[in-house]
Amino acid sequence: MLDPGIRAIADAFDELHMLVSTEPALSHFIPATSTLISLARDARSGAPLALAVPNDRSLRIPTRELAERILAVVDKAPGPVGHEDAQTTKTMAILLNNLARAVVFAIIADYPDLMRH
């Protein structure tokens, strides 16, 4: 059975990919969110995961409003709460690390004050 935390992260990846796919100003994030979708599919099926999203620090979020919209989706991806087994915790850590590499670092670079909420 899939851990609810992993399911919530995978669902957030799906939502994030939809956002960047429908927002032309974020289209440069599509390769990264496509990788997140693949990781989510693997996590849902129980396949092994690895870091996969390149850490491209050149990607930028063009407006604060878009950064806030991305962050609203990212906030739906929970971290481990302490009851998970070691494998679930590892899977969640890999997923969240990839999420950071995909979009969170861009938010931190361009709108660091948003990360203090």
Average pLDDT over residues 17-45: 95
CA distance 63 to 41: 30
Q: Which two tokens stand for residue 58?
A: 């050149």
Q: Is residue 28 pLDDT above 80, yes or no?
A: yes
CB 94 within 8 A of CB 51: yes
- Parent domain of 101: 4-116
CA distance 52 to 65: 27
Q: How many domains does the chain have?
A: 1
CB 61 within 8 A of CB 11: no
Q: Is residue 18 pLDDT above 60, yes or no?
A: yes
- Residue 117 is predicted with a pLDDT of 53
Q: What is the mean pLDDT of the chain?
A: 91
In the structure, what pLDDT confidence band is assigned to residue 11 with cuts at 50, 70 and 90? very high
In the structure, what pLDDT confidence band is assigned to residue 63 with cuts at 50, 70 and 90? very high
- Residue 55 is predicted with a pLDDT of 80
